[in-house]
Structure 1
């Protein structure tokens, strides 16, 4: 998915100045609540996504640098998804659906359908472009779109990679889970990543609670899709992320509702590199971002071309008549590196 904001935020993250961490009174770990903001995907009939990463409070959780959550949307009203060919550098895109279907085409020659419970992972390396369009048979669209920052040793690779995997459902007392990246609770995914990390969907029965074993070297974030969810006994709003930082060996996740709940658990070792992130590009300097933009506008070979895109406006164009998304203008200031806060819950005395 593209970040199609006409004026992407320039975000400089600093520690301190946050509300105190939330915690219960039973000796559980503190939780930092990261709320979402609404972002339209362009046009008067565009679908709206809820974005929790990146923002001023926190830019990354492990290598996860972008989290969009959308739906359930009635496609007849929202128009569905129609993202014309657009570029990426220095990242992997992770598509995970709960409902609906999306057609993916990229300049690496890969095509595929994103379907519920099946992960699609695309590796940009030094440059790729792709399109995403909800299928004609999709009446409801619901899912998450995620990005992973690539480390220095792989972000320049020339290969444009694409992997698909449908994890098996793992049941436990009180619910079930699907591990689409990394490993959790004895279940693992074969999909290739370039940093130690985790991505999983967890479904909880009404009133269920689990004490989930987790990797203490990972920082974790719990994105709430549905239900009355609490992490470490701290209530989380729907669409928010509950962040716990590193050091936790067991995470308590509860569903206090009388209906089923669903969350997406993201984790990973703290990303050691500072990144410069603007529009659809992840780099390391302002000058790199400027170069990526110029090359995309010039239709440079760095990104290749998408063959076969059919948008809502017909073959080769979206509903606005565009065959590819133009890059927004760069700001009149130097784009700063994202200095992520330390990998622990922010807002306590140590951050003042």
Structure 2
């Protein structure tokens, strides 16, 4: 899953400082991505007043099908620059293929991490004969010094897990409570899958240098005295050494966090960059079928490539972070 909007907004995500321990809800929004597949997702990042949480700059919850497309959705070849994509399936299977030669299936409990660097193309398809995939896709912005790294792909099938007083956690990337993922990270960051048992009452240790946010996927979790249910991103700010968690009936959530991101970012369509010109160069390369920057994906024909939408007629304007 990627940003396939036909008219994506262009925005400047300004560098952020330490925000302090703030607790703010940001409603997820339903985003119809359009096209012949009719894909719809629930997007929690970026927000108008919260473009990033650490280096996390994009968070979509994608479903396993709709009335129009009950078998789910296939995402045809499309490009990325300047980011890492994190694919975390919740059910079903997804086939990932990309322009560096990867061709893998991913199942729940496994992590796909694709680093685009200067340029990569990929596709994500349902696997025939299996339930269509539902899950999360997140983007991690690459810092300036790593934005042009060679593209590469990782799949991690054995991620660190730990239990704590009614909590079962899987660390997708970064470190949490002394457990560190093998996934490659270019900034201080954390992403973790949290399953909280019914009746649980616990305290999760946090890195106070990080800002954090919690997205509940299913059920209900009370975080630091505030009930969190599906439909909103609960932003926690920074300077927290711990997070009290309780749940009456149980809940499933994703925790994301990291050091406040130091760079100003321009995000448009599937590109993360530092300027309008970088975005324009990447778009032109994709539209020109530049095989040096965006090689073809084996098994796909050129007519399957998703065309880039038109750039807006004006240069972008700053979007102030207000958290």
Confirm or deny that 1:91 pairs with 2:83.
yes
Q: Which runs of 5+ in 2 are unaligned?
A: 15-20
Distance 1:105 1:72 in 2: 19
Displacement of 1:44 after TM fit? 6.1
Corresponding residue for residue 155 of structure 1: 147
Corresponding residue for residue 164 of structure 1: 155
Alignment of structure 1 residues 252-291 onto 2, 5 Å: 252-256=244-248, 258=249, 260-291=250-281
Contact 1:255 1:261 in 2 (8 A): yes
Corresponding residue for residue 36 of structure 1: 28
Displacement of 1:34 after TM fit? 1.2
RMSD: 2.1
Taking structure 2 as the reference length, the TM-score comes to 0.91
Q: Number of aligned pairs?
A: 316
Displacement of 1:244 after TM fit? 1.0
Determine which of 120, 123, 132 is the counterpart of 1:131: 123
Distance 1:93 1:75 in 2: 28
Alignment of structure 1 residues 228-243 onto 2, 5 Å: 228-243=220-235
Distance 1:44 1:156 in 2: 32
Confirm or deny that 1:190 pairs with 2:182.
yes
Displacement of 1:287 after TM fit? 1.1
Higher strand proportion (structure 1 or 2): 2
Corresponding residue for residue 329 of structure 1: 310
Question: Structure 1 stretches (4+) deviating beyond 6 angstroms?
Answer: none
Contact 1:226 1:262 in 2 (8 A): yes
Taking structure 1 as the reference length, the TM-score comes to 0.84
Give the SS at the match of 1:328.
coil
Corresponding residue for residue 297 of structure 2: 306
Determine which of 48, 51, 66 is the counterpart of 1:59: 51
Displacement of 1:74 after TM fit? 6.2
Corresponding residue for residue 5 of structure 1: 5
